[in-house]
């Protein structure tokens, strides 16, 4: 089994990858309320994943908002909080059996706008150290004990690049060293722009802004529904998106793209990623192609980052072990 866990803690979805197997959990956390016998004779709200950390109980994932007020402080400065950990533990439990496991590395993806703010990014990275060590928790009354030896952070869109670069056998794409690759990662909160050539980041073409799916919801309406409720309605296909709202959002995103990348033709590949790219779908595909982009469309836009983070970190560990054994 792999010794790496990849963790992409998005505002919209929490993504985990182990051994190239992924899970996606809506980033909703509540402290479940007890209604006693108030639901007698009627059906209560759907059951959700329950995570027990010490004496604290959390309800997480899709439908959790039925059970209490949504915990709103899910920004990256709170990445090591119990609430964020509850999401990480629930995602882990969807991939792993109960019991004890040791992992050499946890790699965590962070958004580009955060990493550009060095002072705030340093605070977040210091908090990430709390993931190192032993974690004991229960998910739906099943006990888990996870030991993590090392923790590292990477830019989220670097994962989409690594997913393009490495195949399922962790072999590098031919002629990749000469390729200048651009990633447009549209998440719940931000749209991140990232360019890599020969494994090196191109600072000239790094950018981002708060133009994620949350911006689309703000353009649509304010009818009293939580963002998480709207997100789930959208994912289930029950929320209809007006064409004008999508077009306005698309125009804002392309404005950011054009300011950061004046010409898409220069790049060997342009890779869309994230839930926002999935929502825009063909509208984004056609728009980027019309600007001359050589598109690489991942098989799964939502998990492209987390899979790539796992591939990159695992390949690096294997390479370092090989060098050590040969020296």
What pLDDT was estimated at residue 85? 94
| pLDDT tens-digit readout, 240-282 | 777 888 999 999 999 999 999 999 999 999 999 999 999 999 9
What pLDDT was estimated at residue 38? 39
Block residue for tokens 């929502």 = 279
Structure tokens at 307: 């899979």
What pLDDT was estimated at residue 250? 95
What pLDDT was estimated at residue 1? 54
Nearest to 202 by CA among 184, 182, 175, 185: 182
CA 251 → CA 54, 214, 248, distances in Å? 47, 15, 5
What pLDDT was estimated at residue 185? 97
| pLDDT tens-digit readout, 145-186 | 999 999 999 999 999 999 999 999 999 999 898 999 999 999
Structure tokens at 73: 């402080």
Local confidence pLDDT in tens for the 327 residues of the chain: 569 999 999 888 999 999 999 999 988 888 887 644 333 333 445 678 899 999 999 999 887 767 787 776 667 778 888 999 999 999 999 999 999 999 999 999 998 888 888 898 999 999 999 999 999 999 999 999 999 999 999 999 999 999 999 999 999 999 898 999 999 999 988 899 999 998 899 999 999 988 999 888 877 665 556 666 677 677 666 667 778 889 999 999 999 999 999 999 999 999 999 999 999 999 999 999 999 999 999 999 999 999 999 999 999 999 888 877 776
Residues 273 and 305: beta-carbon distance below 8 Å:
yes
In the chain the domains, ranked by start, together with CATH numbers, are 4-34+46-154 (3.30.420.40), 157-306 (3.30.420.40)
Nearest to 75 by CA among 210, 217, 271: 210
What pLDDT was estimated at residue 46? 63
Residues 57 and 31: beta-carbon distance below 8 Å:
yes
DSSP letter string over 282-320? HHHHHHHHHTT--B---S-TTTHHHHHHHHHHHHHHHHH
CB neighbours of 174 closer than 8 A, spacing ≥ 6?
Answer: none
Nearest to 232 by CA among 22, 66, 57: 66
Residues 188 and 231: beta-carbon distance below 8 Å:
yes
Angle between helices 304-326 and 156-165 (to 10 degrees): 70
């Amino acid at each position: 089994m792999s010794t790496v866990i990849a963790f992409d803690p998005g505002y919209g979805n929490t993504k985990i990858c182990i051994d190239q197997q992924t899970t996606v959990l809506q980033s909703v956390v509540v402290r479940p309320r007890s209604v006693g016998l108030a639901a007698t004779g009627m059906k209560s709200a759907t059951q959700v994943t329950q995570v027990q950390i010490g004496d604290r109980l959390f309800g997480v994932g899709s439908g959790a908002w039925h059970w209490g007020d949504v915990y709103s402080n899910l920004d990256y400065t709170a990445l090591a909080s119990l609430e964020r950990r509850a999401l990480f533990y629930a995602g882990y439990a969807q991939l792993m059996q109960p019991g004890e496991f040791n992992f050499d590395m946890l790699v965590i993806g962070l958004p580009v706008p955060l990493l550009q703010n060095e002072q705030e990014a340093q605070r977040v990275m210091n908090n990430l150290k709390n993931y190192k060590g032993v974690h004991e928790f229960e998910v739906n009354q099943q006990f888990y004990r996870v030991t993590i030896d090392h923790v590292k952070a990477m830019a989220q869109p670097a994962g989409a690049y690594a997913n393009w670069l490495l195949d399922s056998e962790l072999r590098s794409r031919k002629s990749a060293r000469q390729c200048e690759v651009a990633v447009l990662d549209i998440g719940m909160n931000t749209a991140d722009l990232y360019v890599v050539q020969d494994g090196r980041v191109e600072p000239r073409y790094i950018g981002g802004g708060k133009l994620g799916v949350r911006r689309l919801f703000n353009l649509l309406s304010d009818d009293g529904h939580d963002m998480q409720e709207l997100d789930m309605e959208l994912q289930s296909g029950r929320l209809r998106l007006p064409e004008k709202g999508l077009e306005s959002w698309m125009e804002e995103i392309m404005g950011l793209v054009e300011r950061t990348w004046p010409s898409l033709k220069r790049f060997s590949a342009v890779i869309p990623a994230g839930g926002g790219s999935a929502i825009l779908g063909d509208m984004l595909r056609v728009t980027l192609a019309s600007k001359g982009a050589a598109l690489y469309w991942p098989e799964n836009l939502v998990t492209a980052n987390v899979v790539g983070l796992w591939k990159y970190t695992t390949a690096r560990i294997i390479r370092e072990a090989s060098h050590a054994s040969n020296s």
